[in-house]
Amino acid sequence: MKMQINGKAVESYSGEFFDIINPATGELIDQVPKGTEYDVEIAVEAASSAFNCWASTSPQQRARILYTAAGVVRQRKDELAILLTREQGKPFAESKNEIEGFANVLEYYCGLVSSFHGDFIPVPQNGYSFTIKKPLGVCAAIIPWNMPALIMAWKISPALIAGNTLVLKPASNTPLTNLTLASILSEAGLPPGVINIVTGPGEVVGESLVKNPQVKKISFTGEARTGKRVAELAAGGMKRVTLELGGSDPMIVCDDANLETAVSGALRGRFYNCGQTCTAVKRLFVFESVAEEFIKKLEASIRNLRVGNGLHENIDMGPLNNCRQREYIKELVADVEEKDEGRIVAGGRVPEGSAYSRGYFFEPTLVVDVQRESRLLKEEVFGPVLPVVQVKNLEEAIEEANNTCYGLGASIWTKNIDRVRTGCEQLNAGIIWINQHLKVAPEVPFGGAGESGIGKENGPDALSEYLDLKALMLKI
Ligand code: NAP
């Protein structure tokens, strides 16, 4: 597949390509161009040339185009989901969910099309004041590999509805769904240059996008370490940034929780997308009084998870997306064993058998009695390993839960309204779930505190991230 610049499928000026590998089979799926700084310049130029025309297109017309594209995405849902599973690894049902999520987000922002306007503000001494909202210009979107379609929607929908143009850099492991979605947008009527996609290494394509003086805003999703680099580069041009970074979400199971529901929540919260979700349950704190029963049920459920190629029937969990990610997870588990910092009661190994021999599989893993100093509690565990820690009460659980540099999501499982209130007030997180974990919706603001990032995606607030607010003061 080729890059997309100014409405055309193009190769890179480097003339080079890189491989896209199926993480379940190790097979080559496709090759995409290895973009360069020069390709980024051309793409930004195209987005810049398209800006005035797109910004002056009526918001209703912009919405009509995006709405048409969402309809096509729904019609082609199965085909897109197969492509997503082939490049990313997640089970087909999860891919379908993600593709539907793409269409939902696009349609949600189409619905907000009449809502972003300025205000009239009366001021003392016969003055009048107005505010107007204008698009920013060329925006950059940098996407990770864990949820490439959904995160593309989170960025492009508010940006385009607000009248901005875009250059998007997909993750190097998962560019194919992003490229296909962009061509659907073009076929739905998006004028050339309004969305451009440059594939290639983050250090080259990502950095030159962030540094380009014509780029006014960067929306980045990825690791905290990369986010800091992006923020550093963006500061040089005093650019606006939205940074959606890592998380180490705690799940707190109180003694009055419905344990069956909590087990299902932990299962989905941790092992959905093979544990590679920013808001996955990465640390589980359970009250001592119910720990034994809860862990027994959880262990049984984890052992029942069916691991395999996401395109095969009845698969609950696919492979990790890439070799580096699996090596990291193996290293973390080996570290726990070596230092005796926890007890592995389920999984912990690469599964055996020919079905697993060429993919990046790892067993769904449960580690209990995890020691406070373990890397499992200190680092972002981006894979299918669930560490469980026993706590005496809610106070201790919240203290442990907040003992991280991240603040993305958190959940509390209880029937007690006082505990709910305490959790909501004291947990340091951008999103707090009660008796559930992981759910997101286009209407609800999403974004973290601390090293989980800056700014929000989803909801009406995300539109403000792509609009410039100007004040006018009149004396008549
Ligand atoms: P990553 O390594 O930081 O990469 C993210 C994107 O940045 C990729 O497109 C990557 O390109 C690019 N990139 C790499 N180095 C860059 C640089 N120096 N300048 C500009 N761009 C650069 O993250 P990942 O491993 O793909 O994604 C997993 C991480 O994302 C996890 O930490 C997860 O928690 C986080 N995440 C957060 C959210 C949220 O909303 N908070 C959502 C999903 C994921 P290449 O692919 O070419 O390296």
In degrees rounded to 5, what are phi and psi of residue 302? -65, -40
Q: How far is CA 157 from CA 62, 286, 358, in A?
A: 10, 39, 37
Enzyme catalytic residues: 244, 278
Does ligand 1 come within 6 angstroms of the Cβ of 207? Answer: yes
Mean pLDDT of the chain: 97
Mean local confidence (pLDDT), 1-5: 97
- Residue 303, pLDDT score: 97
Task: Find the DSSP H helices in 112-223.
Answer: 148-161, 175-187, 207-211
| 315 band by pLDDT with thresholds 50, 70 and 90 | very high
Cα 247 to Cα 277: distance, rounded to the nearest angstrom: 9
- Partnered with residue 135 across adjacent β-strands are 467
* Lookup: tokens for 421: 């209130």
Going across the sheet that includes 249-253, the strands are 343-346, 365-368, 385-391, 281-287, 249-253, 409-413, 431-434
CB-based contact 321:89 (threshold 8 Å) = yes
What does each C-alpha distance from 65 to 20, 68, 134 come to in angstroms? 30, 5, 20
What CA–CA distance (Å, rounded) separates 324 from 321?
A: 9
- Expressed in angstroms and rounded, the spacing between residue 321 Cα and the centre of ligand 1 is 13
For ligand 1, the distance from its centroid to the CA atom of residue 289, given in whole angstroms, is 40
Ligand 1 atom at minimum distance from 244 CA? 41
Question: Does 406 sit in the ligand 1 pocket, CB within 6 Å?
Answer: no
> Is there a contact between 328 and 34 (Cβ–Cβ < 8 Å)?
no
Q: What is the distance between the alpha carbons of residues 14 and 205, in angstroms, rounded to a whole number?
A: 12
| Dihedral angle sign, alpha carbons of residues 468, 156, 245, 391 | positive
Q: What is the largest CA-CA distance in the chain?
A: 81
Distance 471 CA to ligand 1 centre (A): 36
> 317: which DSSP letter?
B
Q: At what angle are helices 77-88 and 92-111 packed, to 10 degrees?
A: 120
Asked whether 380 lines ligand 1 (CB < 6 A), one says yes
> Given a cut of 80, is residue 210 above it in pLDDT?
yes
Q: Residue 34: CB within 6 Å of ligand 1?
A: no
Nearest alpha carbon, ligand 1 atom 15: 202
Q: Note whether 346 and 386 are within 8 A (CB).
A: no
What is the tens place of the pLDDT at every residue in 444-461?
A: 999 999 999 999 999 999
pLDDT per position as a tens digit, 258-307: 999 999 999 999 999 999 999 999 999 999 999 999 999 999 999 999 99
Ligand 1 pocket member 428 (CB < 6 A) = no
Spatial CA neighbour of 252 closest among 288, 227, 198, 218: 288
User: Is 88 near ligand 1, meaning CB less than 6 Å away?
Assistant: no
Q: How confident is the model at residue 116 (pLDDT cuts 50, 70, 90)?
A: confident
CA atoms within 13 A on the CB side of 120: 3
Q: Which atom of ligand 1 is nearest to the CA of 225?
A: 3
Supply the pLDDT for residue 276: 98
How many whole angstroms separate alpha carbon 35 and alpha carbon 16? 8
| pLDDT for the residue numbered 204 | 98
Residue bearing the CA closest to ligand 1, atom 8:
171
CA 177 to chain centre: 15
The rounded Å distance from CA 351 to ligand 1 centre is 27
Ligand 1, closest atom to CA 452?
41
Residue 140 has what pLDDT? 98
Cα dihedral sign, 94-96-99-100 = negative
**pLDDT exceeds 90 at position 127:** no
- Site to substitute for ligand 1 among 20, 142, 208, 218, most atoms within 8 A of C-beta: 142
Lowest mean pLDDT among 12-16, 133-137, 323-327, 351-355: 351-355
Q: Is 229 in the pocket of ligand 1 (CB under 6 A)?
A: yes
Site to probe by mutation for ligand 1, drawn from 143, 278, 444 as the one with most ligand atoms within 8 Å of Cβ, is 278
Indicate the pairing of strand 28-33 with strand 17-21.
antiparallel
Look at residue 467 and tell me whether its pLDDT is greater than 80: yes
Q: Whose CA is nearest to atom 48 of ligand 1?
A: 202
Q: Is the pLDDT of residue 56 over 80?
A: yes
User: Cβ contacts of residue 434 below 8 Å, gap of 6+?
Assistant: 411, 412, 413, 414, 420, 423, 424
199 alpha carbon – ligand 1 mean position (Å): 14
Establish whether residue 142 lines the binding site of ligand 1, counting it when its CB lies within 6 angstroms of any ligand atom: yes
Distance separating alpha carbons of residues 279 and 246, to the nearest angstrom: 8
Pick the closest to residue 57 from 180, 167, 191, 150 (CA basis).
191
Pocket of ligand 1 contains residue 144 by CB under 6 Å: yes
